[in-house]
Structure 1
Amino acid sequence: MLTKMQLPDGYYYEGEANSHCHPMNSLPNLSFKYCEDASFWENYKVNGKLEERRVVVSCDSGRREWNTVLGPLLDPTPRGSLWIYSSKLNKTARLTLENFPDERTFHPLGVEVYPSYSGNASYMYVVNHAANETAIEQFLVSPSSSVATHIRTLSHPFFIASNALALTSPTSFYVTNDHVFTKRLPYIGAVVPMVETIFGIPLSFTAHVTVNPDETAHNAVLSHTIVAPFVAYSNGISISPSGLEVAIASTSIGTVYFYSRNTTTNALTFSTSVKLPFPPDNVKHDHDGNLIVGGHPHFPSLLQLLENKVDVAPSWVASISPLAGNVLPEYDLKATLSASTIVSPPNNHTVQTLFQSNGNTFPTSSSGLLDTLSGNLYVTGLYAEEGAMICHP
């Protein structure tokens, strides 16, 4: 987290970064920047065949004025935004928020959308670090429009610092809580959360939440059960394609924890962990079961970027893949800076670098998505002026 590494301007594992990677939004838009999370939204035909795999992106152009994790907390008024990228049309469109309360502030982080079948509308859940609370917003989205209709705001006393989501059904999900002490706290908020981060104090947790299917019910959250306690800075979370494994990123200690999942009760049992050469942010399984991890190789540079002391901060996106046997001492040999030169090889996984940059090609990577159909790699940038990029193989 604190050691600055000699990263290249841009490395992409399927070709030259400067010719294969480009901004996701081809048209300049002031709102499409500082993008935190990205998730696939799968649209299936009547026969169950995948028609299109869209990408949903959460952005917040006001992040430099309002960031409840890193600070500052100056102005929550400018709203963040949600975007949809269609690989069929090679086009990025902003989602219009319909029925969202005029007086409510909107600062999106984690976003997840349930698959659409036969053109039906789907629920979309978005973590919102609003002015007065952290909550989860529930929307309805349809493949035939660029409108996100707000259904309701989900609140709970333990949505202290909710960060990332992983859906287990249309009305249930896992949610990480990255800190117990937050920037919102009076007096101690300026210091204690950073102490919790830097020293890797394992106070954060992940919970499973069940939502009332009755959209008009007063008790919107039916249950909230902590399933993975005592993790240092729980950040991204993802469920494997089989549904049997859950991965949770521990940002402070540069580790991803893997849990076995009981698909009936949604209980989690720790199974193993993988050390990474960078603090992981968001994690997403691809459809072959590999875990794609985006993160920040040098945390001080990220903080200096917030203070306008540097122009860019580095990026690293890697894939963690399960192995049948042990990993050889050397791995990730194609990367400009190999993960194997920084961390010890894991026993039952291997790590491959997909993208890395000192920030000149693309800064502050927070999420990585790998589409196994097209081979496209999508990367969001927490403080990237271009918001997000696509790398084509």
Structure 2
Amino acid sequence: MASARLPSAVVTVLISLIALLLYNRGGPLSRLYLNAPSRLPRENNLSQPSIKFSNTVRNCEDVILDVEEGFALLSCDPSRDVWNTVMGTFIDPTSSPSTGIYIWHYSTPDTEPEQVKLLDFSRRSQEFHPLGIEYHAPSNTLFIINHSPSGPTVELFRFYPSERAATHITTLRHPRLATPNSLAVLSSTEFLVTNDHYFHRRFNPFFALLETYLAFRGGSVIHVKLHPNIADGIKAASNLMQLPFANGIAHLNASTIAVASSSMNTVYLYSITQPASEDSPPYLEQLSSISLPFHPDNLSVDGSGKLLIAGHPHGPTLEKVAKSNRFCHSGVAEEREKCFTEGLSWVAEWSEVEGVKTLYVGDEYGTSTTAVRDVGRGVGVVTGLYAEGVYVWRD
């Protein structure tokens, strides 16, 4: 009996789709081979680097600097080992007592990070899993993305740096804030937020992984407008654009926004145009893109205007760390044997004049997510998703 054959038109379509996939994904997918731990070239161009505060903070995903006051705010969640809605870990949603926001006065010698007291925030002990953070210094407003087991939120606080305390203002929820990851504040009542996926890994794990590795344009950038009294919550939330695995977002300058696509190994630059009407969202138009040899995570811009990009060289290795990191801190010897410690990091900087320059590639400090730098004081900080302490360098 003759074997069945696909119609030629179907074969043509399939070949075209595969060719398109390889064209769009060839570079990023090649890093699955080139950036494997045994092949990854190590490089360290940081001055006086050291791991600090490994006994104080752990699993810090984001860090922001207030260079005027000389302090850093760290978003840390040791319970990320057993609850990570981005990486697909859903074992125990209960927060660790050391989960929270930490303030470090890096401008003062011999100081360590201290946990910020979150006042009037009753949900903290059970449902606080901070990820991206932003701080609007003129209004002392702290924005925190919370991956709560009851659903993602953005928590707003009034922050008092000298008292190392923050008073809860309101909890923001909206259908458009489905998988929030990173924030860029425009004012005390307006911000941009990325959704990293369309498919939530908790509810659609298979499709979420397909979305990641096939680079479906399921991620988004959302513009959120609050009521003048921010305690009243969201006035409007608008979808400005779609892109694969939208991750870090930052102001490159007053008229340009940078957005990281982890799936595409690319940072996209967009002009941001304010609308004629206060009730309309701003408009984003792509200007250019920055290709990278790794998966970018969070973004920041230093005082010299350089874009700092931290991320992950090898996706499967990060997945392995995410699944095993809880064993590294177990009190059971048999479980500690399952610990996998080869977390990988890649930190780079970009400027229009110099292009992309590697600052650090290695495993001494693994799972890098954010890099920030105070140019005036010559201090830089890298945080790691599953790392003990922070990586500090001094120029």
Normalising by structure 1, report the TM-score: 0.82
Question: Partner residue of 1:291?
Answer: 307
Partners of 1:298 and 1:313 within 8 A in 2: no
Aligned counterparts of 1:129 and 1:176: Cα–Cα separation in 2: 14
Tell me which amino acid in the other structure corresponds to 2:341.
D
Deviation per residue, 1:258-289 (Å, 9 max, x gap): 00111455321111111100000001111222
1:21-80 Cα distance to aligned partner (Å, 9 max, x none): 223427x23xx10110111234xxxxxxx3x23211101101111111111111111143
1:253 is paired with a residue of what secondary structure?
Answer: coil
Structure 2 segments unaligned to the other structure (5+ residues):
1-30, 276-280, 325-337
Task: Specify the alignment match of 2:9 in structure 1.
Answer: none
Residue 24 and residue 140 in structure 1: after superposition, are their counterparts in 2 closer, same or farther (change >3 A)?
farther
Aligned positions of 1:130-209 closer than 5 A: 130-185=148-203, 189-209=204-224
Q: 2:392 is matched by which residue type in structure 1? A: I
Q: Kindly tell me: are residues 391 and 196 of structure 1, through their superposed partners in 2, closer, same or farther at Cα, counting changes over 3 Å?
A: same
Match of 2:368 in 1: 365
1:268 pairs with 2:284? yes
User: Residue 383 of structure 1 corresponds to which residue in structure 2?
Assistant: 386
Aligned to 1:62, the other structure's residue is in SS state: helix
1:57 aligns with 2:74: yes
Q: Which letter does structure 2 place at the counterpart of 1:350? A: G
Calculate percent identity across the aligned residue pairs: 33
Residue 394 (structure 2) pairs with residue 355 (structure 1):
no
Q: 1:313-355 CA distances to partner (integer Å, 9 max, x unpaired)? A: 21010001113xxxxxxxxxxxxxxxxxxxxxxxxx6101112
> Which residue number in structure 2 is paired with residue 330 of structure 1?
none
Please tell me whether the aligned partners of residues 243 and 263 of structure 1 are also in contact (alpha carbons under 8 angstroms). Answer: no
- Report if aligned partners of 2:192, 2:224 keep a CA contact under 8 Å in 1: yes
Which residue does the alignment assign to 2:247?
235
Q: Distance in 2 between matches of 1:377 and 1:266?
A: 32
Instruction: Tell whether the 8 Å contact from 1:95 to 1:148 is kept in structure 2 after alignment.
Output: yes
- CA distance in 2: counterparts of 1:144 and 1:39, whole angstroms: 17
For 1:190 and 1:203, how far apart are their aligned partners in 2?
Answer: 14
Q: How far apart are residue 143 of structure 1 and its match?
A: 2.5
1:94 is aligned to 2:107: no
Contact 1:312 1:364 in 2 (8 A): no
Q: Which residue identity is paired with 1:247?
A: A
Name the amino acid aligned to 1:40: L
Matched letter for residue 167 of structure 1: V
The residue that corresponds to 2:319 in the other structure is: 303
User: 1:84 aligned to 78, 89, 103, which one?
Assistant: 103
| 3-state SS of paired residue (1:2) | helix
Rounded to whole Å, the distance in 1 between the matches of 2:250 and 2:231 is 29
Contact 2:368–2:385 (8 Å) recurs in 1: yes
Structure 1 residue 227, shift from structure 2 partner: 1.6
**Structure 2: distance between partners of 1:313 and 1:277:** 17
Change (3 A) 1:261 1:204: same
Figure out how many residues of one structure are paired with residues of the other and give that number: 338
Contact 1:108 1:129 survives alignment (8 Å): yes
CA distance in 2, matches of 1:76, 1:154: 20
Q: Deviations 1:176-225 (Å, cap 9, x if unpaired)?
A: 0000101221xxx23111111011111111011111231443xx101111
Contact map agreement 1:294 1:317 (CA 8 A) in 2? yes
Aligned to 2:127, what secondary structure does the other structure show?
coil
Aligned partners of 1:268 and 1:288: how far apart in 2?
24
- Give me the whole-angstrom Cα distance separating, in 2, the residues matched to 1:140 and 1:255: 34
Is 2:95–2:126's contact at 8 Å kept on the other side of the alignment? Answer: no
Cα distance in 1, alignment partners of residues 46 and 345 from structure 2: 17
Letter in 2 for 1:354: L
Unmatched runs of 5 consecutive residues or more in structure 1? 43-49, 324-348
- Structure 1 equivalent of residue 131 of structure 2: 109
The code of the aligned residue for 2:255 comes to L
**SS of residue in 2 equivalent to 1:89:** coil
Structure 2 residue 301 is matched with structure 1 residue 280: no
Cα distance in 2, alignment partners of residues 25 and 244 from structure 1: 37
Task: Indicate conservation of the 8 Å contact 1:41/1:114, yes or no.
Answer: no
- Taking the aligned partners of 1:392 and 1:85, their CA distance within structure 2 comes to 16
- How far apart, in 2, do the equivalents of 1:2 and 1:211 lie? 41
**C-alpha distance in 2 between matches for 1:190 and 1:210:** 31
Q: CA RMSD in A?
A: 1.8
